[in-house]
Amino acid sequence: MSATSHPATTGATGTTPEDRVPGQAGRPPGTPSRTARRRRRTTPGRIALYAFLTVTALLWLFPVAWAFYNSFRDYAFTAVNGYVSFGGFTLDNYVDAWEQGDFTQYFVNSLIITVPAVLVVLALSSMAAFVLARFSWALNIPFLIFFTAANLLPQQGLLIPLFRWYSWVGIYDSYLAVILTHIAFQMGFCTFVLSNYMKTLPKELSEAAFVDGAGVWRQYWQIVLPLCRPPLAALGTLQVTWVYNDFFWAVAFMSTGDKRPITSALQNLQGQFFTDYNLLSAGSAIVAIPTLVVFFALQRHFVSGLTLGANKG
Amino acid sequence: MRLLTARDRVVLGLMIGVPALFVLAIVWLPTLGTILLSFTSWNGIGGLDRIEVVGLRNYENIITNYPPFDIAVRNNLLWLGVFFLVATPLGMFMAVLLDRELRGSWFYRSALYLPVVLSLALAGFIWQLQYSRDQGLINAVLGLEGAERIDWYGDPSINIWAVLVAASWRHVGYIMLLYLAGLKAVDPALREAAQVDGASEARTFFSVVFPTMAPINIVVLVITVIESLRAFDLVWVVNRGRNGLEVLGALVLANLTGEASLVGFGSAIATLLIVISVVFIVVYLGTILREERK
């Protein structure tokens, strides 16, 4: 189910496995590692494999690295020497981007949208999943389809009526409109993942609780939910990235630019006639930092969250 | 189930009822609304009483009288084709390579799925640094000067390809991740047995491993289709889905937010998108639920 991270890097002696050059292990001969004993031959095929992987990985990292590199460079310097050059390093772009893009305000907006949306979606979908996974009744499968299919519909398909409806209720151009939409739209994915997980928990747990006289709510709150920490952590991580990264709903349901989340702040940095790409790079880096932190710190949760949905373990 | 008290029944009802109402009100009813609106004409202004039923006229107009539609269909198909023939197989291939115990596989894996973490809007900006006509890396590396410079995002005859490179950049990592999880679930005993029998690695993969992964293959293919249909953010960031970058998703929004807000017409395009999606959603759920019953 969850990809236990880095199986290849365990069993190293002393040196961190990352330092070692592929193909030629940096340890004295005669002390083979566990992986080495399995099948480690420096064949041309293996070298080609590592070369291919390295080239691909660097190619994939390049656009991000290039943006990052240029975010530290002075506009005047690159204007004279061209972008493909070295030098002109400065931190000013970050300061300027933050101020010109009004990033403090936008980060607060993102926080106001993301935190309640993720908490509510996890709360509601865990309840729905609990009912679907732990009690069997005739409507189990129809309900599961009802929830899951909702998440797969094209977003444009619900846009117009939703837009009208929010205007009519009077919540158009508010945080609430965006939060509610995220909750409803993400519910399907979370319900599906959580109900799959809850089905794997032993039925005896509930039966024992029943005999002891525990009600439905106590079973959910005190028995099942505490056992669901792994999928909740994975989904929480994933939802934070998705809601934070959203661009579509915010643009659709907010006419006041000041209320929009951080993803739209970048547009403020894009000039109408000329664009300072160094400034834009710094802005992109600032916007990307929270997701990158989530990605590196909670990598395991991120990966297992993504794969839980597609491949029930 | 039979032992439930009245109170428990109420609690259960609320636990499933509240989330279901949410999804009904914010996803399903609006979807139905879009389908109904597609048979009407309405400029979005004024009350619902100004809606006029026009039958299939919007659909007729889309097909006979709306040039961007053809370009959008072609672009969506191109998107699907590139994902299906290039990005998805590449993601699968990378997963197969990384599934072995390799030194530093965490690095290769992280590099490939880093783009998945970034938003599509951000991907659009990041790639602009490569594509920009005056300041982009590609033109500089190719040594193009003055009028020779190519406007990768701006030239309507090639910009769809530029965008597809950026979209594939993200898609490969996503597919690799899904497929890696699928491969992990394959019983290692199967592989070892094949290897003991002297099968080559390629042979082992195609004859033993691949067939056991039928469900994940379908999931990956359906995700590929749905992602292609949903194409939106990237082209919207580049030029609001105009001038060569028309896709169905962007046409919907363009018709609604444009000067003449054509609600019925935009809804008809959205309905086409919904109908095609539903076909694949059914395939997806069919696969998932069949697995469930096992």
- List pLDDT tens digits, range A162-186: 988 998 899 999 999 999 999 999 9
Quick check: A277 and B132 CB within 8 A? Answer: yes
Amino acid type, A61: L
Q: Are A120 and A180 in contact (CB under 8 A)?
A: no
Quick check: B26 and A184 CB within 8 A? Answer: yes
In this predicted structure, the answer to whether residue B22 has a pLDDT above a threshold of 90 is: yes
pLDDT band, residue A20 (cuts 50/70/90):
very low
Q: Are A186 and A228 in contact (CB under 8 A)?
A: no
Give burial (CB, 10 Å; 0-12/13-18/19+) of A106: buried
Kindly identify which residue of chain B lies nearest to residue A150, measuring between CA atoms.
B27
Give one word for A6, left, alpha or beta, with left for phi > 0 and alpha for psi -120 to 50.
left
Give burial (CB, 10 Å; 0-12/13-18/19+) of B182: buried
For residues B224-239, average pLDDT: 88
pLDDT band, residue A273 (cuts 50/70/90):
low
How far is B291 from B216, CA to CA, in rounded Å?
10
Helices (H), A89-214: 92-100, 103-134, 140-152, 159-169, 175-199, 203-211
How far is B82 from B13, CA to CA, in rounded Å?
46
End-to-end CA distance of chain A: 4
- Which helix H or strand E contains B209, and what residues bound it? none
Q: Which of A265, A204, A226, A60 is nearest to B117 (CA)?
A: A60
In this predicted structure, the answer to whether residue A28 has a pLDDT above a threshold of 50 is: no
Q: Taking the CA atoms of B22, B26, B31 and B32 in sequence, report the sign of the dihedral they define.
A: positive
pLDDT, tens digit, 9 for 90 and up, residues B78-103? 999 999 999 999 999 999 999 887 88
pLDDT, tens digit, 9 for 90 and up, residues B177-227? 888 888 887 888 888 888 888 888 888 888 888 888 887 888 888 889 988
How far is B255 from B271, CA to CA, in rounded Å?
14
End-to-end CA distance of chain B: 23
Q: List CB contacts (< 8 A) between B236 and chain A.
A: 247
Distance from the A29 Cα atom to the nearest Cα atom in chain B, whole angstroms: 18
Q: Which of A42-46, A262-266, B136-140 has the highest mean pLDDT?
A: B136-140
Q: Which of residues B31 and A273 earns the better pLDDT score?
A: B31
How far is B228 from A86, CA to CA, in rounded Å?
39
Q: List CB contacts (< 8 A) between B142 and chain A.
A: none
Q: Are A71 and A88 in contact (CB under 8 A)?
A: no
Q: List CB contacts (< 8 A) between A158 and chain B.
A: 26-27, 30-31, 33-34
Q: Choose the closest CB to B253 out of A156, A187, A288.
A: A156
The pLDDT, as a whole number, for residue A29 is 46
In this predicted structure, the answer to whether residue A220 has a pLDDT above a threshold of 90 is: yes
Q: Taking the CA atoms of A191, A194, A197 and A202 in sequence, report the sign of the dihedral they define.
A: negative
The contacts of residue A113 (CB under 8 Å, 6+ apart) are: A175, A178, A179, A182, A243, A250, A261
Amino acid type, A224: V
Give the other-Cβ count within 10 Å of A187's Cβ: 27
Q: Are A121 and A184 in contact (CB under 8 A)?
A: no
Q: DSSP label at A32? A: -
How far is A210 from A193, CA to CA, in rounded Å?
25
In this predicted structure, the answer to whether residue A19 has a pLDDT above a threshold of 50 is: no
For residues B148-155, average pLDDT: 90
pLDDT, tens digit, 9 for 90 and up, residues B245-279? 999 999 998 888 776 678 899 999 999 999 999 99
Quick check: A291 and B117 CB within 8 A? Answer: yes
Q: Are B72 and B246 in contact (CB under 8 A)?
A: yes
Q: Are A288 and A126 in contact (CB under 8 A)?
A: no
In this predicted structure, the answer to whether residue A11 has a pLDDT above a threshold of 50 is: no
Distance from the B82 Cα atom to the nearest Cα atom in chain A, whole angstroms: 17
The pLDDT, as a whole number, for residue B6 is 87
Kindly identify which residue of chain B lies nearest to residue A163, measuring between CA atoms.
B30
Output the CA–CA distances (angstroms, integers) from residue B286 to A139, B218, B293, in the order listed. 16, 10, 11
